[in-house]
A = this chain, B = another copy of it.
Amino acid sequence: MSAARDKLAAERISVIGLGLIGGSIVRGLRAAGYTGPIQAGVADAAEAKRAVELGLVDRAETDTAKAVAGATLVVVAVPIGAMGAVFAELAGAIAPGAVVTDTGSTKLSVIENARAGMGPGIGHYVPGHPIAGTERSGLDAGFAQLFDGRRVILTPTPETDADALSRVEALWSVLGARVSEMDAAHHDEVLAATSHLPHVLAFTLVDTLARMAERTEIFEYAAGGFTDFTRIASSNPELWSDIVTANHDAILPVLERYIGDLEAVRTAIASGERATLAATFGRAKDARDGLAAERG
């Protein structure tokens, strides 16, 4: 951790996007004792003013080229749908040798954006994804401890250079995260199952119920289980439409498998096959209890 801290101390950091993830990165850097300059790219002048007033960053710019000027480590923390535009703007603006990473929830799509934008500079790009978040978004949603003890997956490309990789590892290590590496396509499959599919299911369920005639009454009698189950349906719908669209190749097979399993459960309910239900529910409880036990 001390080596990581020393390595990070030499960087001039620029974070593009100060939403939940970017805002938590800059807060976490300060909380971890990073005293170097932090500059940021934000959506508009009002947000730039506020970000500086709140003491989150030293400088905030609405122009991406200005936001990355002089930076040695650039973290692109914008929504998936904005990645293409940001990487296109970075191309001519970053300093030679500057390392670029991102925090996007899908990796193949962002790698494609990065290749298009950075061209021959792609070796200095390290694709990344912190497995952390809440259903909140915006400048006030972030907090310094968001990444503490959480996993960050880096998915280096064949071109990614070793020095760039170790500098990005140092960033996440200082923020308290546990860093691991994975193939980008595999990352997208794993996240489709554990994150993207649950969001699709929760959004769809709440919408199904909201469009029913008894809508008001249904929500009035919802209990704690429903509240937990549907929390992720309060996530940003634009951001999630982009994630689901970007990762549709990995989401579709697991969504189709789920619909098939749900059809089987429907048949079991309709036919009164209680034993089938008990077996399905029991396997699920065992797996879920195992997960809870592992987390402590």
A4 within 8 Å of B by Cβ?
A: no
Chain-B contact segment, one of A24-32, A51-59, A206-214: A206-214
Candidates B208, B221, B280; contact of A190 at CB < 8 Å: B221
CB distance from A109 to the nearest CB of B (A): 12
Q: Count residues of chain A with CB under 8 A from any CB of chain B.
A: 93
Q: Considering the chains assembled together, what is the distance between the CA atoms of A153 and B285 in angstroms?
A: 28
Q: Considering the chains assembled together, what is the distance between the CA atoms of A258 and B288 in angstroms?
A: 23
Q: Decide: A194 and B207 in contact? CB cutoff 8 A.
A: no
A62 within 8 Å of B by Cβ?
A: no
Q: Considering the chains assembled together, what is the distance between the CA atoms of A200 and B270 in angstroms?
A: 13
Q: Decide: A262 and B225 in contact? CB cutoff 8 A.
A: no
Q: Decide: A229 and B226 in contact? CB cutoff 8 A.
A: no
A166 within 8 Å of B by Cβ?
A: no
Candidates B195, B219, B228, B287; contact of A210 at CB < 8 Å: B287
CB distance from A235 to the nearest CB of B (A): 7
A contacts, CB < 8 Å to B: 131-135, 150-151, 153, 189-191, 193-195, 197-212, 214-215, 217-219, 221-238, 240-242, 244-245, 248, 251-252, 254-259, 261-263, 265-266, 269-270, 272, 274, 277-278, 280-292, 294-295
What are 19 A-B residue pairs whose CB atoms fall within 8 Å in the complex? A151-B221, A194-B219, A204-B265, A207-B280, A208-B257, A209-B287, A210-B284, A210-B286, A219-B290, A230-B291, A240-B281, A241-B277, A241-B278, A245-B277, A248-B272, A252-B266, A255-B262, A259-B259, A259-B262
